[in-house]
Structure 1
Amino acid sequence: MSQFPGAAYPVQVPAMLLAAGRGERMRPLTDSTPKPLLQVQGQPLLQWHLQALQAAGVRRVVINTAWLGEQISERFSSHFGPQRLSHMPEALSISYSHEGVDFGGALETAGGIARALPQLGPVFWLAAGDVFAPDFVFGSAAVQAFARSSHLAHLWLVPNPAHNLRGDFGLSPDGMALNLPEGDPSPRFTYSTIALLRAELFAPPWCDIPAGNPAGVKAALAPLLRRAMDAGRVSASLYTGRWTDVGTPERLAELNG
């Protein structure tokens, strides 16, 4: 596959963690602390993803920041985890896309990904830094299966939580994500915010933001995904492990109870 010179398919790929949001619903907790650094079961929320990525053999992570972003880069610096010993995985290399510094605020999900693309690659993991999913495995088998496909995205969907009972996307019996029309009675599931993506999704005809988003265009990810779904280019899996969108103080308190 020409996108991965030197090997038929990648064993692992870089990851992007979304950490630029203001966390309005978490106020006043987020007035002085960015939401990804709030403590969940004894450690920063973002650290759960970093641990899982390191354990899965991912070597490079890009974190985008905006609100109080300097706290995130100060907390995690340029590496996460110990240097490799005989019984331990290698440390993660961390780089940052500081949207707040560059543009005065967050660029939304698609805008932020487009901005960070030069630091990623043709295929990469995506996860939101405010989601708690301690059982999720960023497995190399999923990467290889996705790389062999022609899909632009593979989404992990979850059963609908109480705060999103209508769900987001359908799931076909053959594992394709569905952009169901309004009124369609088919079951919908909630997008977990964990995905494998191709950089191709952030180029025409799916996205018209120039490479690297030099102008700082703000754009949401859902419209791009829906266009690609309509073209049959988005696959999905149902994930049933522990998962919480840590979006309110009440949900945070429940996790820490």
Structure 2
Amino acid sequence: MKALILAAGRGERMRPLTDHTPKPLLEVRGKRLIEWHLEALARAGVREVVVNTAWLEEQFPAALGDGSRYGVHITYSFEGRDHGGALETAGGIAKALPLLGDAFWVVSGDVYIPGFAFDPVDATLFVESDALGELWLVKNAPHHPAGDFGIDADRLASRTAGPKLTWASVGLFRAALFRDIPVGTKMALRPKLERAIDEGRLRAEFFGGSWTDVGTMERLAALNAPLK
């Protein structure tokens, strides 16, 4: 099982820090955000990682190299070089498909989720199912009180089941969900998730550990405040 770390975004709300540094390369508690994911993936036995890039993308190979220091091999999907900018989430996944295989992990490079294990058992069960995707959901943060999806009685993601929870930007996906997207197309992920929900093929799990969408300077500062 390979993994894709989404790292192409501009990070507008984190300016001026992101004027000079891509958000996934900002430090949280002594490590770059993306390094938390690389180390967790390596612990779970994932050895092949794709990182998609666009904004200040030359900084990623310079900072991370080939991934060997983390116990993985990194391949880069350069959206800026090849398409002039970020392709959004679904478009970025579609471009990276030749590097990923039939089923793969996806995690956003700008979330802090240190307790997530990328469990190989979850990956195996996903492959053996007919699901197009599987999302991990968390409790809603104050900045996103309405949430995204619920979990129904069959452990499927739902637009109507309550309570609504927030997608943690971690999931498992099949390439089949994205193969109809022409490479180079800008496309958000939400329409693809809703298609899988309508087909009854989007699984969902609750994750109760620590999670932060590091989307503002205030949240970054809170994570880096001295621990009490």
For 2:181 and 2:177, the matched residues in 1 are separated by 11
Corresponding residue number in structure 2 for 1:16: 4
The aligned residue for residue 31 of structure 2 is 43
Structure number, greater radius of gyration:
1
Q: 2:220 aligned with 1:252, yes or no? A: yes
Which runs of no fewer than 5 residues in structure 2 stay unpaired? none
Secondary structure class of the residue paired with 1:162: coil
After TM superposition, the runs of 4+ consecutive aligned structure 1 residues lying more than 3 A away are none
Structure 1 letter corresponding to 2:166: T
**2:220 partner letter:** L
Aligned-partner Cα distance in 2 for 1:198–1:14: 11
| Residues 1:235 and 2:203 are matched in the alignment | yes
Cα separation, 1, equivalents of 2:97 and 2:84: 19
Per-residue deviation, 1:253: 0.2
Query: Equivalent residue for 1:10?
Result: none
**d(CA) in 1 for partners of 2:217, 2:123:** 34
- Pick the aligned partner of 1:33 from 9, 17, 21: 21
- Structure 1: state its 5+ residue gaps: 1-12, 83-90
1:176-187 matches, within 5 Å, as 176-180=156-160, 186-187=162-163
Q: In the aligned structure 2, how far is the partner of 1:158 from the partner of 1:244? A: 10
In 2, distance between residues paired with 1:200 and 1:94?
Answer: 23
Deviations 1:126-161 (A, max 9, x none): 000000000000111001110111000010000000
Alpha-carbon distance between aligned partners in 2 of 1:218 and 1:105, rounded to the nearest angstrom: 9
Which whole-Å CA distance do the structure 1 matches of 2:97 and 2:65 have between them? 20
SS at match of 1:232: coil
CA distance in 2, matches of 1:162, 1:31: 26
Alpha carbons 1:127, 1:195 under 8 Å: kept: yes
Contact residue 179 and residue 230 of structure 1 kept, 8 A: no
Aligned counterparts, 1:18-97, within 5 A: 18-81=6-69, 91-97=71-77
Cα drift, residue 32 of structure 1: 0.4
1:40-72 residue CA offsets vs partner (Å, 9 max, x unmatched): 001101000000000100010000001111111
* Residues 59-111 of structure 1, C-alpha deviations (whole Å, 9 max, x = no match): 100000011111111111112336xxxxxxxx201000010111111000000
- Once residues 208 and 154 of structure 2 are traced to their aligned partners in structure 1, the CA distance between those partners, rounded to angstroms, is 18
Look up the match of 2:114.
134
The 8 Å contact of residues 15 and 126 in structure 1, kept in 2 or not, is answered as yes
Aligned equivalent of 1:143 = 123
Distance 1:98 1:172 in 2: 38
In the alignment, the residues of structure 2 paired with residue 79 and residue 25 of structure 1 have an alpha-carbon distance, to the nearest angstrom, of 28
Counterparts of 1:190 and 1:159, CA distance in 2: 6
- Match of 2:173? 197
Whole-angstrom distance in 1 between the partners of 2:181 and 2:120: 30
Counterpart Cα distance in 1 of 2:49 and 2:148: 27
TM-score normalized by the length of structure 2:
0.96
TM (normalized to structure 1)? Answer: 0.86
